[in-house]
Amino acid sequence: MTLLSQNQAPIMEALTRYKSMRVVPFDVPGHKRGRGNLELAAFLGEQCLSMDVNSMKPLDNLCHPVSVIREAEELAAQAFEAKHAFFMVNGTTSAVQAMIMTACTAGDKIIMPRNVHRSAINALIISGAVPVYVNPGLHSELGILLGMSLGDVEQAILENPDAKAILINNPTYYGICSNLKALTDLAHQHNMLVLVDEAHGTHFYFGDDLPASAMSVGADMASVSMHKSGGSLTQSSFLLINNEVSEGYTRQIINLTQTTSGSYLLLSSLDISRKNLALNGKEIFRKVADMAQYTRDEINKIGGYYAYSKELLNGDTIFDFDVTKLSVDTRDVGLAGIEIYDILRDEYDIQIEFGDIGNILAYISVGDRQLDLERLVAALAEIKRRYAKDKNSVFDHEYINPQVALTPQKAFYAPKTNVPLSESAGHISSEFVMCYPPGIPILAPGERITEEILDYIAYCKEKGCFLTGTEDSDILTINVVKEHEQ
């Protein structure tokens, strides 16, 4: 076996060798290195299109890697201290789904927080696994959902000793971390697999003084969005496995849904970004943390806004905080987060990650400049001066405990009828309603619709949240389970 070094990027190196060979392409893709689509080549560049190639012997095959992709997987596993790492080109969505489908089959229970990304509930629809929801904590002043309480999870395990796995969000969109080590140890004591959605935690593996990563505490599987804080191209991610999780079976599960035409642009971006983080990650994320802290301090000087950090820690539902996250509560300015999101984009040409009812999130990375940070702070100060209102005008949203009437799969595939959303209270939803981003469902298939939920949806609409999930693109009607099927 060849001794591999983190200085290597096997996929990139193989692509470079292949390009130098000047092979005549009688295979797909049909643009033939850009010559067959000159407008695309002019837009994306000849170098980019020359690397957009198909699987072949010198470049390996993502579905069954034996050479350069295999080597790149081994290097990624070493970098993340995992048993194995899979290259994912269908986004972290496919990694989350592969985790759940590896751990659970139809009818198996899985314990998870209700504030999961839609990809997790989609996996339940596909697989037929049954959710056991643990309601997350709620920070009453900030209006943000927190991690899972260790006591709540223990209660869920005792009530469902036959559950196969537990899924943990770590960190949340806002940077909140659960007690990952204690939750992992607790689940393992009851012979349950631990699956961690680390979509926003790539940097935990490479930075100093950051929260614990899934692999470092002995979790069994983790989905990692390299394209978020890791620097790779959008839609590229890693799925990590550990302990006794079968590499072969996990790959079979991945191959059920992942494309057989893996993009070498995405694969090489994962390979190059892993190399960069393995060699330079500590320095990179120290700079990111410093930039986030500087911006937090400056925003908090404005007044009205609250850019929060580790002062929130409570030893349980906020066990740790990701200091690279710039999460800001906006309610004391009298504006919903989504309103500030829109103003920043429309009037200041500043695009932040998302705004919800009470908060905004600005994603900070090593690609940001000091001038950009100062521009954001100045814009927020001016928005407060121009637009501030009575803070009581902002909806004081409490977490709505879901009333689960049917499993997601049964509700999604059940005979259904379409009703006006305004008249749907009392029915069981057969589809999602969610704000995107972050993609956490307000309503999921199998949950009973209540007036409280409808009021919240109406408020989100009024404030300009981008609502998705229903067949009706205007979110005026909703599919519900026919009454005789309930």
Question: What are the residue boundaries of the structural domains of the chain, listed by start?
Answer: 282-393, 408-485
Q: What are phi and psi of 477, to 5 degrees?
A: -125, 165
pLDDT at 398: 60
pTM: 0.94
d(CA 131, CA 120): 10
- Alpha-carbon distances, residue 229 vs 8, 200, 226, 233, 288 (angstroms): 21, 7, 6, 11, 10
Angle at 164 between CA 201 and CA 430, to 5 degrees: 80
Q: Nearest to residue 384, comparing CAs of 448, 464, 260, 299?
A: 299
| Interatomic CA distance for residues 68 and 16, integer angstroms | 12
Beta bridge partners of residue 193, listed in sequence order: 165
Q: To which residue do tokens 């200041």 refer?
A: 348
CATH topology (fold) of 282-393: Aspartate Aminotransferase, domain 1 (3.90.1150)
Burial 250-269 (b: 16+ CB within 10 A, else e): bbebbeeebeeebbbbbbbb
CB-based contact 118:405 (threshold 8 Å): no
Task: Report DSSP letters for 361-413, one per residue.
Answer: EE---TT--HHHHHHHHHHHHHHHHHH---GGGS--PPP----B-S-HHHHHH
Q: Do domains 282-393 and 408-485 have the same CATH topology?
A: no
Euclidean distance between the first and final Cα of the chain, in Å? 58
Chain length of the chain: 486
The alpha helices in 222-263, defined as continuous H runs, are 226-229, 247-257
Q: What pLDDT is attached to residue 1?
A: 43
* CATH fold of the domain at 408-485: Ornithine Decarboxylase; Chain A, domain 4 (3.90.100)
Rounded distance, CA 77 to CA 82, Å? 5
* Average pLDDT along the chain, 486 residues, taken 10 residues at a time: 84 95 90 94 95 94 97 98 98 96 98 92 96 89 90 97 97 96 98 97 96 98 96 97 98 96 97 98 97 98 97 97 97 93 97 92 93 97 95 67 92 96 96 84 93 90 87 94 78
